[in-house]
């Protein structure tokens, strides 16, 4: 059987490998243990608005108790484990879904109000809302000059 090359699949694989390498480097610099290696990496969208940052992650088939979210030093850490549900008669013809532990680190471009972080998990989509710390708006100060 002849298999045709698929350059787009190769690009997706290269992107996943680069993302994993960068996550590993960040994890090493933060001093996290190597035992937290990822078995797979969920796909995410990271969106920045004026007042918040939103992370959306595809985590189908997961139980919310197996998802952990932390904000540490302007970084969002998303980790967890998707467990394979055993079927009584295991005669698989194909296994394409990824299972096991995952660990992702996302640098945040702004200071986050940790007390107001909110996470919701519905229909396999995790949405984390990270409100930015409100900074004072610039205040115009008039300069008074007195000449003697």
pLDDT digits 0-9 by tens, 20-74: 777 766 666 665 544 456 788 899 999 999 999 999 999 998 999 999 999 998 9
Mean pLDDT score, 129-148: 74
Indicate whether 9 belongs to any domain: no
63 belongs to a structural domain = yes
**8 Å CB contact between 82 and 98:** yes
Structural domain contains residue 125 = yes
Please say if the pLDDT value at position 113 is more than 60.
Answer: yes
pLDDT at 136: 65
Which structural domain range is residue 111 located in?
Answer: 38-85+96-131
* Residue the block writes with tokens 């940052």: 53
DSSP secondary structure string for all residues of 77-104:
EEEEEEPPPP-SS---S---S--EEEEE
CATH number of the domain where residue 116 is located: 2.60.40.790
Q: Is the dihedral of CA 66, 19, 131, 57 positive or negative?
A: negative
In a domain, 4, yes or no: no
Q: Is residue 77 part of a domain?
A: yes
Q: How many independent structural domains does the chain possess?
A: 1
- Asked if residue 75 is part of any domain, the answer here is yes
Q: Token digits for 118?
A: 């909110």
- The whole-angstrom separation of Cα 111 and Cα 117 is 12
Strand residue runs (E) in the chain? 44-48, 52-58, 67-72, 75-82, 100-107, 118-122, 125-131
Cα(124)–Cα(121) distance, integer angstroms: 7
Residue 122 has a pLDDT of 95
Residue 107 in any domain: the answer is: yes
Whole-structure pTM over 0.95, yes or no? no
144 occurs within a structural domain: no
């Amino acid at each position: 059987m002849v298999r045709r090359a698929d350059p787009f699949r190769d690009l997706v694989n290269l992107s996943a490998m680069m993302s994993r390498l960068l996550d590993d480097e960040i994890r090493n610099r933060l001093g996290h243990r190597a035992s937290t290696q990822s078995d797979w990496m969920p796909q995410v969208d990271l969106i920045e608005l004026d007042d918040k940052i939103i992370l959306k992650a595809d985590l189908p088939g997961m139980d919310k108790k197996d998802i952990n979210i932390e904000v540490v030093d302007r970084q969002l850490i998303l980790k967890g484990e998707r467990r394979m549900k055993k079927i009584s008669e295991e005669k698989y013809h194909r296994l394409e879904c990824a299972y096991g532990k995952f660990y992702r680190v996302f640098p945040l471009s702004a200071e986050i109000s940790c007390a107001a972080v909110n996470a919701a998990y519905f229909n396999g989509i995790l949405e984390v809302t990270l409100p930015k710390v409100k900074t004072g708006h610039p205040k115009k100060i008039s300069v008074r000059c007195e000449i003697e």
